[in-house]
Chain A
Amino acid sequence: EAQVTQNPRYLITVTGKKLTVTCSQNMNHEYMSWYRQDPGLGLRQIYYSMNVEVTDKGDVPEGYKVSRKEKRNFPLILESPSPNQTSLYFCASSLGTSGPSSYNEQFFGPGTRLTVL
């Protein structure tokens, strides 16, 4: 089954304790992205990656790191989490971002609900 998986689904942590949220896709997609979703603010893009070793900042990259060492994986790293990073996080992937419409269709993971105390 074609899918984007995220782990963990739920996480409660404390300020300053480094954490990683994993994201993996099995569709051989080139483009991967991380979003956070907050009430009243909608989905905001954190980082995206066009391909292996190619990443770029979205609208809200502060406090986050990413890496793309393999095509299928795109982990989100919070080196020193703070309470304002409490949010619902989504990973997404697509074939690419140019060409036929299917290239732009993003498949989203189920979400990771993060609480930082």
Chain B
Amino acid sequence: EDQVTQSPEALRLQEGESSSLNCSYTVSGLRGLFWYRQDPGKGPEFLFTLYSAGEEKEKERLKATLTKKESFLHITAPKPEDSATYLCAVQGRGYQKVTFGIGTKLQVIP
């Protein structure tokens, strides 16, 4: 059974204070690892897909990296508008089911 564990559950940063969110996963053959952002009361919004160990993707202040057992979402010089819950999900090869982690709730204080 696929599993996704995200840490920390909550993170409070000062504006400009860089940090990383962790996503540890177990899956029988990785088809893709996904990062989403979710604002309160809204549906998740897609950020990145990573396919293989060593892959990196960037978008504005966010950078996602992938190893064989975990992924990191690095946030550089965050702003208050980056406050949200960040979700990690995996999909295994050979099937279409997607498994999400519980998420990391990020708060960036001005």
Contacts and interface: CB of A to CB of B under 8 A. Distances in A.
8 contacts: A31-B96, A42-B100, A43-B87, A43-B89, A101-B32, A105-B49, A110-B42, A111-B41
A74 interface: no
B96 A48 contact: yes
A44 B99 CA distance: 7
Contacts, number: 64
Interface of B: 31-32, 34, 36, 41-46, 49, 51, 87, 89, 91, 96-103
Nearest to A38: B102
Interface residues of A, number: 28
Interface string A26-66: 00000101010000111111001010000010110000000
Interface of A: 4, 31, 33, 35, 40-45, 48, 50, 56, 58-59, 90, 92, 97-98, 101, 104-111
Contacts of B34: 104, 106
Nearest to B1: A59
B101 A59 contact: no
A33 B44 CA distance: 13
A42 B89 CA distance: 11
Contacts of B41: 111
Contacts of B101: 42
A33 B87 CA distance: 17
Contacts of B31: 97-98, 104
